[in-house]
């Protein structure tokens, strides 16, 4: 049990430190920085690498919305949901602490937005709350469909982390200008704490939208797309591994 929570902590830490770290540290050089494309790749690579590294332990969620979607799709035990959320949020906050400590070592540095998510004045492109809500819901739903499909028994074995990592990269390429891309409430929470903006005041949207999107994605999968391999009932003593190669129930 502890190993699963530790894996989610480590995986989420890596996602936030690698993804947000690339935005805070490496994208800050106008001529040499990595830009939107580099940040998008960084987020995708964090999920890809950690899915292979610790996905076999915890399922490789690293995201409260993913955990909820998997539970709704009968791929994850409901009794593990809140502990997973706690591990993910704590991992994200820990990553933000380390990132802040690193970035603040530069002379004259200020946190600014600190890779936080936002809408209106806090949107990179000045997009409205409605636009932010819509794109976060749609992209999180799509992300869940990719995850559920890539980890189903019908999918080729061993390639799920690649599909999921590339999907997250694509999601960032689409939505960084709109919200700075969340689709992950833990990622949004960790950096919002340290931002020199009103990011905390807008954090609610980056919990509500991804969770709603995850529920929609899980519903679409179960009703329209599922090949029927997922168990209908998961007992309290079972854990479903949906990480890397196939669906496996561990007793």
Question: d(Cα 9, Cα 7) in Å, to the nearest integer?
Answer: 5
Residue 26 token pair: 């490496």
Handedness of CA 119, 95, 37, 169 (dihedral sign): negative
Which residues, in sequence order, are CB contacts of 128 under 8 Å at separation 6+?
Answer: 119, 120
CATH classification of the domain holding 40: 1.20.1080.10
The crossing angle, in degrees rounded to 10, of helices 185-192 and 205-220 is 170
Residue 23 token pair: 């935005």
Domain that holds residue 52: 2-250
pLDDT on residue 229: 53
pLDDT digits (tens, 9 = 90+) for 209-247: 999 999 999 999 999 988 765 443 333 333 344 444 333
Element of type H or E holding 241: strand 239-241
pLDDT on residue 27: 80
Question: d(Cα 10, Cα 168) in Å, to the nearest integer?
Answer: 18
Q: pTM of the full predicted structure?
A: 0.89
Under the banding of pLDDT at 50, 70 and 90, the label for residue 157 is confident
Question: d(Cα 155, Cα 213) in Å, to the nearest integer?
Answer: 23
State the chain's mean pLDDT as an integer. 91
How far are the Cα atoms of 13, 20, 56, 80, 229 from residue 153, in angstroms, in the given order?
A: 29, 33, 16, 23, 7
Question: d(Cα 231, Cα 93) in Å, to the nearest integer?
Answer: 34
Alpha helices in 59-159 (DSSP H): 64-72, 81-103, 129-150
- The one-character DSSP state at 224 is I
Instruction: State the total domains in the chain.
Output: 1
pLDDT on residue 228: 64
pLDDT at 86 over 80: yes
pLDDT digits (tens, 9 = 90+) for 33-53: 799 999 999 999 999 999 999
pLDDT digits (tens, 9 = 90+) for 126-150: 999 999 999 999 999 999 999 999 9
Specify whether the CB–CB gap between 44 and 165 falls below 8 A. Answer: yes
pLDDT on residue 77: 96
């Amino acid at each position: 049990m502890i190993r699963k929570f530790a894996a989610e902590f480590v995986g989420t830490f890596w996602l936030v430190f690698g993804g947000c770290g690339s935005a805070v540290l490496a994208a800050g050089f106008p001529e040499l920085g990595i830009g939107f494309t580099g940040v998008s790749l960084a987020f995708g690579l964090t999920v890809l690498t950690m899915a292979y590294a610790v996905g076999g332990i915890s399922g490789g969620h690293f995201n409260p919305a993913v955990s909820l979607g998997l539970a709704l799709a009968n791929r994850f035990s409901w009794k593990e949901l809140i502990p997973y959320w706690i591990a993910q949020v704590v991992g994200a906050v820990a990553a933000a602490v380390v990132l802040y400590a690193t970035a603040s070592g530069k002379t004259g540095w200020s946190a600014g937005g600190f890779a936080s998510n936002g809408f209106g004045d806090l949107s990179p492109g000045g997009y409205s709350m409605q636009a932010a809500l819509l794109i976060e819901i749609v992209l999180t739903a799509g992300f869940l469909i990719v995850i559920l499909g890539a980890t189903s028994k019908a999918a080729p074995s061993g390639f799920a982390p690649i599909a999921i990592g590339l999907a997250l990269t694509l999601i960032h390429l689409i939505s960084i200008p709109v919200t700075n891309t969340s689709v992950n409430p833990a990622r949004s929470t960790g950096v919002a704490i340290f931002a020199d903006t009103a990011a905390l005041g807008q954090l609610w949207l980056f919990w509500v939208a991804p969770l709603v999107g995850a529920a929609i994605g899980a519903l679409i999968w179960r009703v329209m797309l599922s090949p029927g391999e997922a168990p209908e009932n998961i007992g309290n003593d079972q854990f479903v591994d949906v990480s890397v190669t196939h669906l496996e129930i561990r007793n």
